[in-house]
Amino acid sequence: MFYKSLGAAFVTASFLAATPVIANDADALFEALGMPEIIEIMRAEGIDYGAQIGTDLFPTRVNAAWSATVETIYNPEIMQARVRADFVSSLEGDDVAGMLDFFTSDPGRTFAGLEVSARRALLDDAVQEASDEMAAMAVKDNTERFQLLDRFVQTNDLIETNVVGALNSNYEFYMGLMAGGAFDDALTEEQILSDVWDQEADIRANTAEWVYSFLMLAYDPASDSDIETYIAFSESEAGKQLNTTLFDAFDDLFDDISYTLGLEAARMMAGAEL
């Protein structure tokens, strides 16, 4: 899964809006993509991210209470139910059968497994560092595998969509801080927008590094011909629909999470000042 941003949310009733056949197929697709496992991994990434927020904003107050708050925000049941509901609802009217056919047969089924395995492996800092170095060398040398994966990246618009997601999550985090009184009216919404946009270049560079690192690691066992098949699916209408649906579902979730993290961080900061 190519969504990077770490940005709680309430379960919506949108799941009920889909017809039974579409809901069943979309739910099966959710499982075939390994989304429950991906969300579990994203939760672990998020908890680490929340700990870093505490270290940055109130280093002398990072305690069990903040850790418990972060774990509550990254509630695994709510995260999975929210993404699943939005995923199923958004696919209504799309070619779910075509998506399901691809990811329940090879090579789609294999790619789904490789993506989950790589995402889990990258939780290890040593693996992340080694993968980053391998990808950087491939980019520098402009290897044939890099060129192939770059086509995959461009086809799925992975850099831009992740950058937009990260910028939106950062904006929501600042808005949460503002709502919690962290800025004492010292910042306006326009200033927050400007500050967030100033981060765009760094976010784009970090996103590109992460995307290529992830893909080089995940697809290392895959043949070029299988990657070509995946690119062809991504270029199809079903592939485009699925890519949009996945990013939309995760964007909504992590925007809400980011706002809540900001709000709770502001409350913790206020407590530290008492």
121, containing H or E segment: helix 108-121
d(CA 36, CA 14): 19
| pLDDT value for 160 | 96
Contact 261, 50 (CB under 8 A): yes
Tens digit of pLDDT per residue, the chain (274 long)?
Answer: 565 655 332 222 232 333 344 468 999 999 999 999 999 999 999 999 999 999 999 888 778 899 999 999 999 999 999 999 999 999 999 999 999 999 999 999 999 999 999 999 999 999 999 999 999 999 999 999 999 999 999 999 999 999 999 999 999 999 999 999 998 888 899 999 999 999 999 999 999 999 999 999 999 999 999 999 999 999 999 999 999 999 999 999 999 999 999 999 999 988 755 3
DSSP 8-state secondary structure symbol assigned to residue 19: -
| pLDDT value for 5 | 55
| pLDDT value for 11 | 25
Contact 27, 84 (CB under 8 A): yes
| pLDDT value for 4 | 64
d(CA 185, CA 183): 5
230, containing H or E segment: helix 224-235
d(CA 194, CA 202): 14
pTM score: 0.89
| pLDDT value for 12 | 28
| pLDDT value for 63 | 84
| pLDDT value for 2 | 62
DSSP 8-state secondary structure symbol assigned to residue 106: T
Contact 227, 152 (CB under 8 A): yes
For residue 233, the Cα-to-chain-centroid distance in whole angstroms is 21
Closest by alpha carbon to 253, among 86, 92, 115?
A: 86
Output Rg (C-alpha) for the chain, integer angstroms: 19
SS3 76: helix
| pLDDT value for 20 | 40
DSSP 163-174: HHHHHHHHHHHH
DSSP 8-state secondary structure symbol assigned to residue 11: P
